[in-house]
Amino acid sequence: MAGRPKKNTVDYFPHMMGEGKKMAYIETKYGNDGYATWYKILETLAKTEDHYLNLNDEINAMYLCGKCRTTMELMYAIINDLVTLNVFDRDLWQHKILWSEDFIESIRDTYKRRQSVALDKMDLCIHLVNNNSINVDINSINYSKKVRKEENRRIGEIENRKSIKETAVDDDFPDDDSEVESTRKPWQPLSMEELETELMSATIWHGDLGTSVGISDPGDVPRWIEKFFVFLRGQGKNHTSLREAKSHCQSWIRRQLELGKTVESGPIAKPADLENPNRPPDNSGKWLFLNGKWRDTTTFTNAQKRKLGLIPEVSQ
DSSP string, 135-191: ---GGGSPPPHHHHHHHHHHHHHHHTTTTSPPPSS-TTS-S-------SS-TTPPPP
- Kindly state whether residue 134 falls inside one of the protein's structural domains: no
Instruction: Tell me the pTM.
Output: 0.47
- Kindly state whether residue 93 falls inside one of the protein's structural domains: yes
Q: Given 72, 105, 138, which residue is the final one in a domain?
A: 105
Q: What is the residue range of 236's domain?
A: 192-258
Could you report the per-residue pLDDT of 250-296, keeping only the tens digit for each? 889 988 888 888 888 755 444 445 777 888 877 778 888 888 888 88
* Residue 2 pLDDT exceeds 50: no
pLDDT of residue 82: 94
Q: With bands split at pLDDT 50, 70 and 90, how would you rate the model's confidence at 99?
A: very high
- Kindly state whether residue 41 falls inside one of the protein's structural domains: yes
First to last CA, the chain: 62
pLDDT of residue 171: 43
282 plus 245 within the same structural domain? no
201 plus 230 within the same structural domain? yes
Q: Given 61, 86, 105, which residue is the final one in a domain?
A: 105
254 plus 278 within the same structural domain? no
30 plus 90 within the same structural domain? yes
225 plus 284 within the same structural domain? no
210 plus 278 within the same structural domain? no
Q: Given 105, 139, 170, which residue is the final one in a domain?
A: 105
- Kindly state whether residue 82 falls inside one of the protein's structural domains: yes
112 touches 150 (CB < 8 A): no
pLDDT of residue 70: 92
- Kindly state whether residue 237 falls inside one of the protein's structural domains: yes
pLDDT of residue 210: 85
Question: Domain count of the chain?
Answer: 3
pLDDT of residue 74: 95
pLDDT of residue 126: 82
90 plus 45 within the same structural domain? yes
